[in-house]
Amino acid sequence: MQIGSAIPSSLRRAQALRIIAILAVFFVLASVSRYHGSFDFSIDEDGQVQSVPHEGAEHDIYYTHHIATFDPKDIKPWTKGDTAALRTPEGQRVVQYLTESPFQPPSAENENKNWILKDNHFLTLTKRLRVFRALWHAMKAYYDQLSQEGQQDQFYNAPPSEIAPAIEFLQKLEQATFPWVLSRHKTTFDLFQTYKDGGRGIVMCVGNYHAKFARTAIKVLREVVNSTLPVEIYYTGHYDLTPENRAWFEKYENVRTIDITTVIDNELIRLGGWAIKPFALLISKFSEVILMDSDAYFLEPPEVLFEDGGYKEVGTVFFYDRTLFPGAGGDKKVWMESFLPSMSNHPSKTRWFNRQGDHEMESGVVVLDKTRHFLGLLAICKINDLHERDQVTYRKTWGDKESFWIALEMIQERYSFIRYRGGVIGNVGDAIPYKKVLPQEEIDRYLQGESLTVTNPIDPQTNQQTRRDGVNMDRVCGNQLHFNYRGQPLWWNSGVVRDKFTSKSPYLKYTAYMKDEDGAWDFGDSCIVQKNPGAIMEVEWSQRQIAFKVIQADREVALEYNQPDFKEILEIPKLIKSEGAKGGNGNSEAV
Ligand SMILES: *[C@@H]1O[C@H](CO)[C@@H](O)[C@H](O)[C@H]1NC(C)=O
C-alpha cells in the first residue's frame, strides 16, 4: 500500500512539523531529566542513561547508585487487629511457629549431632524478622513514653492490657533471636538508646596478625588524609591483641582499643574471624559508623562517605566486589528465593541473578547509619550468629561479605550501593617482580624507576617460567580499588604491595587504575585486562602523592617491627611524575 502518495502534501508537511515538535520536546525533556548539564554520560547495564556528575553538581542518586527499594505492598505494618489475633488459638500457633527452636529434633541420623538447623531455618527467620520489625516500630511509642518517665525498666513488666499480648510476643521474639543483646540489656530498645548522640566514627577489628596493616591504616587516617573521626579498635580477648599493640594504637588521639568479650556475651556467639565485624558495629557507641578492614587505605578523608547521596537517602554506603567466577558457588538466585518471600528491586540487578559473578559486595568498608538501620543491624548480626554463620551464611557466601545486604532484604530496610564495581589500582603491565625467584638486580632496577623488560624467570622447583610472555601492557595489576559515586578512586584494599600473600613482594607504584566494567579479571595475578584500548586510567598526580605517603607510612611501620625481611626488600619505589599511565592509552610508555 502506498499511503504516502494518497496524502496531500500540506498534510504531510503538517505531520512532519508535528514529528519535529515531538522530537524537540523529547530532547528537551531528555536533557532536563537525564543529562544534568553534563555531557559525560554512559548507558548503564539497566539500559538507562547514566550521568557522571561533576564535583559539587546536583546529581540523581538513581544514576550514581543502586538503591534497593521495596514495594510498599510487601511491607506489613503491625495493626490492632494483629494484637487482637494474638489472643486467639490461631494467633498463638503463629507465635509458637515463629519462636520455636530453630534446631532439628534429634533423630536416628543426627542423634549424636546437636544444633543442626532446620532446613527452612532462614525462611522462618525472614518471617520472624519481618514480624519483629513491624512489632518493634509499633511498640516504640510505648517504650519512648516509659523512657521519658524514667520507667523503661517496666517495659515487659506491666504493659497496658490493650497491648499486653503484643509486648509479650515482642519479648518472645527477642529472646528467640537476640539473646546476646538481652544478656546486657532488658530490651533491644535499651541498646538502641545507647546510640543516642553517639556521633560519627570508625570501627576496626584487629588481631595481632593484622596489627601491622592496621598500624599503617591508622597512620594514614591521622597523618596522610588527616581524618579526625574517632576510632574504636575491637579485638577478641586478652591474647588477640598484645598490650604493646594496644598501646601503639592508643597513643593516637581519639583511638581506643576495646576487648569485645568484655562488652558482649561471647559464650553465645563465640567470635572468631569475620563474625566480629557486625557485632563490633552493634556494640559501638557511634551512631553513624564506617566499618573498615585493617588493610583498607583511603585516598580522601573517609568523612566524605557521610556526604554520599545514597547514604543521605537511605543510610548505607555499600561497595561492590570484583566480577569473578560466574556460575560458581551454586545458584544464588534459587538460594535467595528459598528464604525471601519477597525482595526489593535490587537482587534482580545483581550479578548473582544474572549469572555474571559469584561475588556481590565488598565489606572492606561498610557505612551504616545505626539510627536508621538498628533493626537491619540486628538482622545482619543474626545471620553472623554462631549456628547461622557456620551452617548457612559462610557456607553459601564468602564470610560476612554478603550478609549486610542479604539481612536488609530479610528485614526489608532500604540500602544503597555505589554503582561502580571493584576495580584495580597499581601499575600498567604485569611484570612487576614479586615472586621470590626473581633476581635481586631486576628488583633493584625496578626500584630505581626503570621499565622492566621481559624476563620470565625460571622457578627452580618446577623448572618452568613463572610468568606468561610479555609485559602485557593491556592490563593494570595491583590492589583492589573502590570508587566514589563520581567513579573516582576513593580507597583500596589488600595492602600496599604487589601481593600481600607473597613474602618480599615489593611496593606498588600507584600510577594507573581500571574499572571492573572496562575489562576482565585475571584473578590469579590480580590484574584487570582491558576490553578495549583506552580503558587504563592514570591516577591523578595529587592521589599518586597520597598513595606515595601511604607507602611511606607502611615502610615506617615495617621498620618498627625490626624484621630483616621487611628492611631488605621493601625499599620505596621512586615517585616520578612522568611515570603515569599517559592518559589512559594502555600504552607501552607506561609503568
Ligand atoms: C595533612 O596534614 C599535613 C600536616 O599538617 C599536611 O602536610 C598534609 O598536606 C595534609 N594532607 C591533606 C591530604 O590535606
Q: How far is the CA of 546 from the centre of ligand 1 (A)?
A: 10
Residues 272 and 410 in one domain: yes
Dihedral over Cα of 406, 407, 411, 416: its sign: negative
Q: What is the pLDDT of residue 338?
A: 97
Separation between Cα atoms, residue 381 and residue 389, nearest integer Å: 10
pLDDT in tens, 399-430: 999 999 999 999 999 999 999 999 999 988 76
Tell me what the mean pLDDT of segment 514-536 comes to. Answer: 89
Range of the domain at 429: 423-561
Confidence of residue 263 (pLDDT cuts 50, 70, 90): very high
Q: What is the pLDDT of residue 21?
A: 56
Confidence of residue 390 (pLDDT cuts 50, 70, 90): very high
Nearest atom in ligand 1 to the alpha carbon of residue 300 is: 13
For the ranges 108-122, 179-193, 214-228, 318-332, the lowest mean pLDDT is seen at 108-122
Residues 145 and 225 in one domain: no
Q: Please indicate, yes or no, if residue 584 is contained in any of the structural domains.
A: no
Residues 357 and 407 in one domain: yes
Mean pLDDT rounded to a whole number for the chain: 85
CA-proximal residue: ligand 1, atom 1 (nearest): 226
Q: Please indicate, yes or no, if residue 535 is contained in any of the structural domains.
A: yes
Question: Does the pLDDT of residue 383 top 70, yes or no?
Answer: yes
Q: Please indicate, yes or no, if residue 54 is contained in any of the structural domains.
A: no
Nearest atom in ligand 1 to the alpha carbon of residue 546 is: 13
Residues 236 and 158 in one domain: no
Residue 261: which CATH number?
A: 3.90.550.10
pLDDT in tens, 440-498: 666 666 666 665 544 455 555 655 544 443 467 788 999 999 999 989 999 999 989 88
Q: What is the pLDDT of residue 41?
A: 47
Secondary-structure percent of the chain, ordered helix, strand, coil, rounded to 5 = 40, 15, 40
Q: Which of 221, 222, 226 to mutate to test the pocket of ligand 1 (most atoms within 8 A of CB)?
A: 226
Q: How far is the CA of 224 from the centre of ligand 1 (A)?
A: 6
Separation between Cα atoms, residue 530 and residue 521, nearest integer Å: 9
Residues 278 and 359 in one domain: yes
Residues 413 and 448 in one domain: no
Strands (E), 145-292: 200-205, 231-235, 255-259, 288-292
Could you tell me what percent of the chain has a pLDDT over 90? 65
Q: Residue 225: CB within 6 Å of ligand 1?
A: yes
Dihedral over Cα of 45, 319, 517, 511: its sign: positive
Tell me what the mean pLDDT of segment 190-213 comes to. Answer: 96
Domains: count for the chain: 3
Residues 376 and 517 in one domain: no
Residues 288 and 397 in one domain: yes
Q: What is the pLDDT of residue 380?
A: 98
Q: Please indicate, yes or no, if residue 46 is contained in any of the structural domains.
A: no
Q: What is the pLDDT of residue 205?
A: 98
pLDDT in tens, 128-157: 999 999 999 999 999 999 999 999 999 999
Could you tell me what percent of the chain has a pLDDT over 70? 79
All three cell numbers of 56, joined, read 559539587
Q: What are phi and psi of 278, to 5 degrees?
A: -65, -35
**What b-and-e string marks burial along 207-229, b requiring 16 or more CB atoms within 10 Å of the CB?**
beebbbbbbbbbbbbbebbebeb
Residues 406 and 529 in one domain: no
Q: What is the pLDDT of residue 519?
A: 92
Residues 394 and 535 in one domain: no
Residues 289 and 308 in one domain: yes
Q: Please indicate, yes or no, if residue 578 is contained in any of the structural domains.
A: no
Q: Residue 226: CB within 6 Å of ligand 1?
A: yes
